[in-house]
Structure 1
Amino acid sequence: MALFVMILRKMAKNRWLELSLLGGLILSVALVSSMPVYINAVLQRMLVKDLEIRQQAAGEYQGKLWSSVYLTDEGKPEDGGRLLQGVDSYLAKKQDDFRLPVKEYVRERYTETYRLQPADPMKADPSVERNAALTALSGMEDHIRLVDGRLPSQEPVDGVYETLVTEKTLLKFKMVLGVEFRVTDDKDRTILRIKPVGVFDRKDYADLYWASSMSSYESSFFLPFSLFERDLTEGRKLVLRGGVWYYALDYTKLKLGNIDAFTGTAKDVQGYLAGRFSSQSVSAPALGIIEGYFEKEKRLRLMLWSLNVPVMLMLAFYLYMVANLITERQKTEIAVLRSRGAGRWQIMAGGLIEGLVLGAVALAAGPYAGLLLTKALGASNGFLEFVQRAPLDVELNASAYRYALGTVACSILMTLIPMFLATRASIVGHKRQMSRLDKPSFWHRYFIDVFLIAFSVYQLQSFRRRMDDLASMGLDSLDFKVDPLLFFVPALFMLGTGLLLLRLYPWFIRAVYWSGRTFWSPALYSTLIQVGRSSTQYLFIMVFLIMTLAMGAFSASAARTINQNSDNQIRYAAGADVTMKTNWENDAPPPAATEAGGEGAAPPAQAPAPAKRIQYTEPPFAPFGELEGVAQTAKVFVKKNAFANAGKTQAGVQLMGIDTDEFGRTAWLRDNLLDHSFYDYLNLIASDPSAVLISRSLAEEANLKPGDTLRVGWAGLEGASFLVYGIIDYWPGWNPNGASQASGGTTAKAGNAKKRDLPKLVVGHLSYIQNNLALEPYEVWLKLKPGTTSAELYRQLEEKELHPVELTDTKQLLIRQKNDPFQLAINGVLTLGFLISILISFFGFLLYWLLSLSARTLQIGILRAMGLSFPQLAGMLAAEQLLTSGAAVLIGLFTGTLASRLFVPIFKISFNTAQQMLPFQVVFDPRDQLQLYLITGAMILIGLVLLGYMLSRIKIHQAVKLGED
């Protein structure tokens, strides 16, 4: 107990350092423990968002589980009802196993299809063939509205079963309400009598109760469910033919913890039905999304952890620095204890108890601080952008506490390292070390900086080779087996580069000193000697500043790069702000004429005659240019299944017909993708109507070069001659990458993969193609004026009755991309990393210099006693700040920029390599650089003000008295 009290008193004596260490521990635990919480929350939002998007696109509720059985004639008729009721009991027990709220649960029964004959031939035309089944839906009465008539009785009325029908049933069977029909068998014997008494429709077309459309019930007569169960399911008055069970589950409550429960229960239902019925079906639309979701989960986890590795290393560096400062203040005490017989394990035990106390506080507070970080990340709308958004559904889980406990353990071990190193020295050795501050550091003595740079460059080259192999084979980046060390490489490179520059920095100081040693002022002369001879003393704070600022620059560049590349992919794939296909009148036969016979029709006995080429009528194009907010329009003809002949080579190509002037003013293409300017290529072919640009893939396969000719056409046409004017690698709206060779979920082996058949492109003049080949529908591309909204454009299209068949709106795609949970996660983590880097850098800077100033009180007092004025002393400290902290800031920004250019492309592994149309480009935003400069400038300025304030409070007599003591 006495030892514990002594440790607490020692901690109280160094309370500011201990609080700084505690703050770093809490922040480290918060960051690491927030990762599983944040990943789970983002993955949940991603899954729900994907289901919502799929629901909007498919028009089908994604939370449904629809199962049906068809009773064949193989079993006994009396067994049908028992089997269906067995399914009822089984599904009732399995309902809780989904672990999702059940919005609707519907049971449906239906009978064999029977022939219906009017009881009174005068009231219904007996010549109309009427074949229908009796159907029942549980709880149907609460979800319908009566269009005509009334609800049927729950009991037979005079032996007649009253039913409901749809409007389509009335029209199809040419009958009216109140007419009695006889349900007859194949021998024309009456089995049952029914009478429709009401016509119904859905009460609400958005009601999840209805799994099927009303058109699917146009041959059904609906009985009350309880009556159907009693007289048909159990009473077997008619032959049962099947049943349907429909769950509408609340998929918005789907979480990572209940995904397995949902998918497992769906498989259990399918297995149960498959084991009892020869004809059965189970459908759950969400299962398809969930299967693809697991691939997204791997990609997101990989990305988020890779983005956090540099921040975690920076926090570890901060903890080590603070622990080292604490140890530096205790080195004399440790050396005295060692000289008086204290064992190293006893001193280490004291440090361990101190770490356990701080670790316990961090473990208690850190996870809850992580929750706050997670909620802040959920509000990110871009890098360093925050908006009001629905908060993430976050909760602490076992994984968060496991990560927190591991972080505390690693942090305690790291903070014990400086103390362990200090226990090796006796009091004599400690005094000797204090007098030799100019000896090389451990990092420089053993060339750790050179090793780190060499290792980083080797890992980078290995990564580049493997990514090139993936791209050449068209494989997904998930096929890339990631080395965990890969994510440490950027931080290791930044550390190695910073140490290398600091190895050279003393020579720079000495050069400055020798260049003006005859005219330097005494204050500056003293500063240059202090910095030049005690470079090891400043090494730690300079390395710390370099790492934190370099990682801040790296995080900023990574965020901008990922965002910009994602946006560029969308813009390039679309080609322009808005692209659309319009309806062209033509003489094509109707679909029914070309698909006669239906899906199961037998093939014709004779080969069909060649199809007549369709003639199209071009619609007016001018109204598109008259739309308000439209800056430019262009006609773009795209024929994907064209062919090109060059000598003996024939290849499938995509033919694009354009008007060079309109296309150049409308289309979008990123700079530096082509050998020359995009507009130079357009001007190149503008003068010759037969001139074309071809893709490099076509040029290499057909051995074409500028000046060669080729013939291009498509099915039903002989083709026309074109003259090659240029070779291009990229073009707006064209994907230069081929599909992956690995299909069906298999991965092509590097040694056996064949060279991909890359897409090929031919770009020519639209007028020449229309005159020499054919007039076929083209696309309309629009460039919008700044500030034009999609809603305004859609409204004008509606007013002018310009109804596109297909429309791609780049602005809406970019908004969707920005709100994508995957993108939000990346921006949130990178923003957090940037802010933590700056925050830690600021507090580490202040802490070090304030402690350094207090440790040099005697030196400052002597300088004042020797006659150095306060302004000269302040100038000396300011120069020292600029030569150390200022230099570290410049080196950090340079190192971060260099590391970004080299290592940000590593994040390509988070994207599907086979779907990347454009090369990955590292992006730097001047605003981020400006923010870094402003923050570091303010940091140094605040530091100088505080140092000046502390300097003004130092009394000469107190400093000298301190030295005498």
Structure 2
Amino acid sequence: MGGIFRSFPTAFRIAVRRLNGNRRLMAAVAIGVVLAVALMASTTIYRNALQDLGLQTDLRRVSDAELDVRILNAAHGLSGGLADESFDTIDRRLRIPSEFISDTKHSLTTATFFMTEVGGVPPDEDPRDRARVLWFEAVREHIELVEGQWPDPTPAATPDQPPVIDVAMGTEAAASGGFSIGEVRDIHASWRDDARPIQIRVVGLVRPLDYNDRYWGVRRDHFHVPVEKTDAFAFFAPRSTLIDAMAGYMPELRARLEAYARVDRSAFVADDAGIAAIRFRAAFEAIAKEIERTRVETEIVNVLKDYETKEFFSSIPLLVLTLQIVGIVLFYLVLVSTMVVDRQSGEVALLKSRGAGMGHIMSISTIEGLILVALAMGVGPIVAREAIAFLGYSPAFEGLTGGTRLSVELTGEVYIYAAIGAALSFIALIWPAWRSNRSTVVHHARSTSRPEDKPVFQRYYLDLVVVAVGALLFFQLQESGSLVTEDLFGGLQQDPLLLIAPAVFVVTVAVLFLRLFPLLLSAFGGVARLLGGASTQMVLWHLTRAPVQPGRLALLLIMATSLGMFGGTFGATLDKSFDDRAAYQSGAPLRLADLRSSGASADMLADDLAEAPGIDRVSYVIRQNASFSRGPLDVTDASVLGVDPESFSNVLWYRDDFALDDVRELIDRVTAPEFEVEQIVIPADATYVGMWIWLPDTSGSIGPSLRLQDSQGRYRDVRLIGLPRSRGFGGGELEEGWRFLYGVLKDGSGGPHIGPWTLQNISIRSGGNANFSGSVGYDSIQYTTDTELPEDIINVGFRDSVIIESFEQQGRWTVFTDTTRAGALPDDARLSTAQARDGEYGMSYRWNREVRSGVPRGVRLIGPDAALPVIVSRDFLVEAALDEGQLALVGMAGVYIPMQIVGAFDLFPTWDPEDARSLIIANRDYLSYRINRNPATLGAGTPNEVWIQPTDEEG
């Protein structure tokens, strides 16, 4: 008999005959093997398909203007070849990510000039015509010459003689400014009074072929008609005109240097996204290091970084579920293979009794397994590919694929995963055969006549070891709270032990079931003997004597059910995790951030949103950068969030584990004490505001202004004018004494300006000798409703006016208290009879050299000085070496505000703990008052975010 096994063809024929003889069971086995291989192959197919699709979707969601790379230096020198050197540096560094960049263009835009007719002098004040000269690389390929010719390069110039340069301009701008071919204008340097003007001659009129082309970047001031007072006419000229002619005449001329690199979306592959981000970051850091004061504007690095984070977290559930599904499929293979082997056990025992060895019998089983595995390797990857591609038609992917098939391909990695599935399947098929082939005819006869012995893992209590391992992994997972851990350098990584934890939990349930199943059957059998009939007793008796096969089937059902439960709960948990992460980043169901509202107050924003549909509750928030310093080299950076506690609590998304205390109780702590500031009102029908100022005899400069707040809470500075044009109030032009200076109430940037207004402070900015010491006098702040002013207003004042502040009341004004780290300015402001002009008293204001040059000086109305109550992130306490209850003098927007720490939190929505900045939360209204009562940057203390809770229908 042994001779028939000596040749492979014979063994192969026997294996095929056995497969055919058990074709029904073997069909189930074949399906299981194909399923295992397909599942393993689909893991990488699905991941690769989603990676590429996800990356391209993320890239498409970002506009060209945000994705493309804009390298900008706002004030770059042109003389001495500086521009050429910088462009060469940029081009060299952009070669690092060159495979992801399709094209790079350079441009130069000069500083602003004042433009007049030939021989004209620029006005002292706006409105004034402005001009900039531009050079764009390859611009002639993107414009149409409508009239005239393209300007020729202007010869190099010297500082002794201003050049006459030929330029081209947009047709609409030319029509608006009254330009025609051959028109000549003077352009005067806005930064110099002593230089003769450059002359420009318009020789061509042009218009863009496609102004939406990515070539033009994000700016839209190349052809437009100037509207605002700071807008400028744009004139195109050759590169040598700017560098050789204009910079040759004015070596100090600066220009906005730009390089615009177009990002090629199609060049990105999901597997190389991390490498691409590293290359872009390396190029940007090198450029910023080699070219001072250069910034890079692009979202490409953030897009790639966010994609990597999302891909990392999305791969975890796929891997966990795949491990469990494949595990169940392998168990199914073992179960079915065991049934096949049991049917063949008599034949195997007979062959062994006639001299067949284990090797002979195993060779047949091995060939059977190889045939099934080979079939699965050929069919499984194709099944996986078609199944994954078909997902593109499903509603879940329709928004990404447009209702078409997913783009998938079979790569080497796919077949590696398929081979792993095939190898596991082969082991699952061979293992029962190997165990069965060890038995003899005696063993076979005994197994059919009496119950099987307990498995080895039960006899030696190895199942309890599995239970202990499962408990340990459960404890570890509970402690970490995530399947993700940090590596040695703080990066995220997948913990393999935690990843297999769900599969271990399923195995734990399985071994416990196998241990308890016979006991349960015995218990049910005892109950059946007392209460059941004969048939019930016979069934339970049979199950009790041979519990293995029923136990395996029940175990398969339990494992499949547990997988379904795990998939459902894990999916829900994952969805909630993604929802929480999105909510944490937004802070509210809807958040409008980075508003450019020109100092709009909360009342103005509320009026704008009053008629907006779908809004249930809303809160207006201030977000500003700040810093706390304990010394020159010990600075803690922070972001300050100014909120209205009542409305903010109603829209904020929060979790209880972000802080030890309840969030609403924490936010209520920043409620500031009610305060009132004395009101000096200018009515809505007023046209001008003015005051008498005693000006000293000084060669320095003094620039006075009044800070006003309108009825909607918006702040503005009204500059007081009236003196002849000068760098300041020069003593060489006017004798010391009283002068009437005035400001226009309803004109100026940021309009419309609608009263009534309330006066906040009087400030002056000093320069020259006046920086060191000086004095002025104030008297009779007043307004008028007249529309025309006297010609000699500087000496006579308004014709008909109402005085709103006569400086007769003591204790009404104080010097600025928040403009220096040391506290109140060391200046002297007092009411004095010697400084009076109209009444008994006037205000005398004196300053000295103890404060650095350029610091705003002045007086403000008396108001509350209590520290601002704040809650802070705990890392701020650590970095600043502070504790709750302590005071911190925090600098922001040009002022220093004392803040008292009344609470702390670990996490807060919209704040990234990995960011270099800590977070401080303060009362919005009191914060705005403390900032804007001083001459801080306008708009700094006004809301720039809107947090919205939509209605149920809209949300």
TM-score scaled to structure 2, two decimals? 0.56
C-alpha separation in 2, matches of 1:363 and 1:682: 62
Query: In the alignment, which residue of structure 2 is the partner of 1:166?
Result: 170
C-alpha separation in 2, matches of 1:110 and 1:773: 38
User: For the Cα contact (< 8 Å) 2:70–2:260, is it kept in 1?
Assistant: yes
SS of the counterpart of 2:206?
strand
Instruction: Give the counterpart of 1:489 among 501, 525, 528.
Output: 501
The answer to whether the aligner puts 1:332 opposite 2:346 as a matched pair is: yes
Higher RCO, 1 or 2 (CA under 8 Å, sep at least 6)? 1
Deviations 1:611-668 (A, max 9, x none): xxxxx683485886765544x4355667889999xxxxx9999675444xx7787666
Quote the offset at 1:563 in angstroms.
0.3
What is the one-letter code of the residue matched to 2:356?
A: A
Deviates more, 1:414-423 or 1:480-489: 480-489
What is the one-letter code of the residue matched to 1:739?
A: P
What is the one-letter code of the residue matched to 2:603?
A: E
For these two proteins, the number of residue pairs brought into alignment is 684
Query: In the alignment, which residue of structure 2 is the partner of 1:540?
Result: 552
Q: 1:777 to 1:390 in 2, by over 3 A?
A: farther
What is the one-letter code of the residue matched to 2:501?
A: V
C-alpha separation in 2, matches of 1:106 and 1:282: 14
SS of the counterpart of 2:425?
helix
User: For the Cα contact (< 8 Å) 1:578–1:782, is it kept in 2?
Assistant: yes
Query: In the alignment, which residue of structure 2 is the partner of 1:401?
Result: 415
Quote the offset at 1:498 in angstroms.
2.8
Deviations 1:287-317 (A, max 9, x none): 5544565555544445532342212212222
Query: In the alignment, which residue of structure 2 is the partner of 1:238?
Result: none
Instruction: Give the counterpart of 2:42 among 34, 38, 43.
Output: 34
What is the one-letter code of the residue matched to 1:201?
A: R
After superposition, where does 1:194-233 map in structure 2 within 5 Å? 196-211=202-217, 213=219, 215=221, 221=236
What is the one-letter code of the residue matched to 2:617?
A: T
What is the one-letter code of the residue matched to 2:60?
A: E
Quote the offset at 1:281 in angstroms.
11
What is the one-letter code of the residue matched to 2:57?
A: K
SS of the counterpart of 1:60?
helix
What is the one-letter code of the residue matched to 1:205?
A: Y
User: For the Cα contact (< 8 Å) 1:110–1:136, is it kept in 2?
Assistant: yes
The answer to whether the aligner puts 1:55 opposite 2:63 as a matched pair is: yes
Query: In the alignment, which residue of structure 2 is the partner of 1:143?
Result: 142
Quote the offset at 1:562 in angstroms.
0.8
SS of the counterpart of 1:554?
helix
Query: In the alignment, which residue of structure 1 is the partner of 2:368?
Result: 354
C-alpha separation in 2, matches of 1:62 and 1:305: 35
What is the one-letter code of the residue matched to 1:48?
A: Q
Q: 1:114 to 1:408 in 2, by over 3 A?
A: closer
Quote the offset at 1:429 in angstroms.
1.0
User: For the Cα contact (< 8 Å) 1:736–1:758, is it kept in 2?
Assistant: no
Instruction: Give the counterpart of 1:520 among 517, 527, 532.
Output: 532
Quote the offset at 1:770 in angstroms.
11
SS of the counterpart of 1:199?
strand
Structure (1/2) with the larger helix percentage? 1
The answer to whether the aligner puts 1:633 opposite 2:633 as a matched pair is: no
After superposition, where does 1:419-818 map in structure 2 within 5 Å? 419-437=433-451, 439-466=453-480, 479=491, 482-571=494-583, 574=586, 576-579=588-591, 618-619=603-604, 621=606, 628-630=613-615, 632-633=616-617, 635=619, 656-659=643-646, 734-735=908-909, 739-740=913-914, 782-788=948-954
Query: In the alignment, which residue of structure 2 is the partner of 1:316?
Result: 330
User: For the Cα contact (< 8 Å) 2:890–2:899, is it kept in 1?
Assistant: no
SS of the counterpart of 2:207?
strand
SS of the counterpart of 1:328?
helix
SS of the counterpart of 1:425?
coil
Quote the offset at 1:400 in angstroms.
0.9
C-alpha separation in 2, matches of 1:559 and 1:222: 61
Deviations 1:149-178 (A, max 9, x none): 25659999xxx9997433598599985324
User: For the Cα contact (< 8 Å) 2:639–2:918, is it kept in 1?
Assistant: no
The answer to whether the aligner puts 1:416 opposite 2:582 as a matched pair is: no
Provide structure 1 residue ranges, at least 5 long, that are not aligned to the other structure: 184-192, 233-240, 591-615, 645-649, 703-707, 745-756, 789-810, 812-965
User: For the Cα contact (< 8 Å) 1:100–1:249, is it kept in 2?
Assistant: yes
Query: In the alignment, which residue of structure 2 is the partner of 1:887?
Result: none
What is the one-letter code of the residue matched to 1:149?
A: E
Query: In the alignment, which residue of structure 2 is the partner of 1:46?
Result: 54
Quote the offset at 1:38 in angstroms.
2.3
After superposition, where does 1:783-862 map in structure 2 within 5 Å? 783-788=949-954
SS of the counterpart of 1:394?
coil
User: For the Cα contact (< 8 Å) 2:131–2:235, is it kept in 1?
Assistant: no
Determine which structure has more spread, i.e. the larger CA radius of gyration.
Answer: 2
C-alpha separation in 1, matches of 2:573 and 2:589: 21
State the Cα RMSD in Å.
Answer: 6.7
C-alpha separation in 2, matches of 1:693 and 1:161: 60
User: For the Cα contact (< 8 Å) 2:643–2:921, is it kept in 1?
Assistant: yes
The answer to whether the aligner puts 1:21 opposite 2:29 as a matched pair is: yes
Deviations 1:891-943 (A, max 9, x none): xxxxxxxxxxxxxxxxxxxxxxxxxxxxxxxxxxxxxxxxxxxxxxxxxxxxx
User: For the Cα contact (< 8 Å) 2:870–2:900, is it kept in 1?
Assistant: no
User: For the Cα contact (< 8 Å) 2:871–2:905, is it kept in 1?
Assistant: yes
Query: In the alignment, which residue of structure 2 is the partner of 1:372?
Result: 386
SS of the counterpart of 2:550?
helix
Q: 1:150 to 1:638 in 2, by over 3 A?
A: closer
Q: 1:695 to 1:334 in 2, by over 3 A?
A: farther
C-alpha separation in 1, matches of 2:134 and 2:910: 57
C-alpha separation in 1, matches of 2:594 and 2:391: 42
Query: In the alignment, which residue of structure 2 is the partner of 1:177?
Result: 181
User: For the Cα contact (< 8 Å) 1:196–1:221, is it kept in 2?
Assistant: no
C-alpha separation in 1, matches of 2:30 and 2:377: 11
User: For the Cα contact (< 8 Å) 1:106–1:137, is it kept in 2?
Assistant: no
Deviations 1:559-607 (A, max 9, x none): 1111023224444665554455899999x7x9xxxxxxxxxxxxxxxxx
User: For the Cα contact (< 8 Å) 1:642–1:655, is it kept in 2?
Assistant: no
After superposition, where does 1:844-923 map in structure 2 within 5 Å? none
Provide structure 2 residue ranges, at least 5 long, that are not aligned to the other structure: 1-8, 123-128, 155-163, 188-198, 224-232, 246-254, 629-635, 676-867, 879-883, 934-940
What is the one-letter code of the residue matched to 1:413?
A: I
Deviations 1:133-153 (A, max 9, x none): 795744x5553345x525659
After superposition, where does 1:936-947 map in structure 2 within 5 Å? none
The answer to whether the aligner puts 1:341 opposite 2:355 as a matched pair is: yes
SS of the counterpart of 1:437?
coil
The answer to whether the aligner puts 1:251 opposite 2:249 as a matched pair is: no
Quote the offset at 1:424 in angstroms.
0.7
Deviations 1:225-255 (A, max 9, x none): 9x99xx99xxxxxxxx999986645304522
SS of the counterpart of 1:200?
strand
What is the one-letter code of the residue matched to 2:570?
A: A
Q: 1:673 to 1:620 in 2, by over 3 A?
A: closer
User: For the Cα contact (< 8 Å) 2:888–2:900, is it kept in 1?
Assistant: yes
Q: Percent identity?
A: 20
Quote the offset at 1:221 in angstroms.
3.6
Q: 1:391 to 1:287 in 2, by over 3 A?
A: farther
User: For the Cα contact (< 8 Å) 1:576–1:782, is it kept in 2?
Assistant: yes
User: For the Cα contact (< 8 Å) 2:72–2:257, is it kept in 1?
Assistant: no
